[in-house]
Amino acid sequence: MSTMQKIIAWILILVGVFVLSDFLITVGINSAYKDIQREDSNSEVVVYQADATYVNGRMRGLIKDTEKITGKYLKIELYTKRDVLVGKSYIEIEKARKEETQPFELFFRAEDVACYKIETVNEKEPGKELEILPKELTKSEILLATAITFLIFWG
């Protein structure tokens, strides 16, 4: 086997290991999340992902027709199976034109969350808010971090 064939073989092995590990990590992490139920009827907010593990969770959605509720806040309250409030968080509704939507994401750290309620409020209430986690990394950010890590350890 020539040197070029060995290099190509090693590159293919590295790419295969990366793809396999990325797939297994994604499946492993996403299988730990369970859906949480919505307990309100706020028609201005559409939530298309709301799930949590035992210790943290994530929520994604859209705020519809933000012109009517500009300058207000979405108040998201998280509850356990026994209706114990474990935390709340506020998302500011930005200015927008009529018929426009505003996407939102919430990554939180709270234990044993089973359901949530969303309502529109004029101002934040005093009290402790949830510990907000940083946003999830995109595929390109993960690839860049992996490449830098390889360079550090290989160099």
List of residues 6+ apart from 94 with CB closer than 8 A: 66, 70, 102
Domain count for the chain: 2
Residue 79's domain comprises 34-132
49 with 72, same domain: the answer is yes
Strand partners, 52: 34, 57
pLDDT value at residue 79? 92
13 with 69, same domain: the answer is no
Q: How far is CA 23 from CA 4, 29, 76, 101, 107, in A?
A: 29, 10, 32, 32, 22
Coil/strand/helix, residue 155: coil
The reply to whether 140 falls in a domain is no
Start-end of H helices in the chain: 3-31, 139-154
pLDDT value at residue 118? 92
92 with 81, same domain: the answer is yes
Q: Can you read off the two tokens belonging to residue 28?
A: 């492993």
Q: Strands, E, within the chain: which ranges?
A: 34-35, 37-38, 45-52, 56-63, 73-79, 85-92, 102-109, 115-121, 131-132
pLDDT value at residue 96? 67
pLDDT value at residue 67? 65
**Residues in the chain with pLDDT values less than 70:** 66-67, 96-98, 131-137, 155
119 with 54, same domain: the answer is yes
The reply to whether 138 falls in a domain is no
CA dist 36 and 128 (Å) reads: 22
pLDDT value at residue 154? 76
CA dist 47 and 38 (Å) reads: 9
105 with 126, same domain: the answer is yes
pLDDT value at residue 60? 93
pLDDT value at residue 135? 65
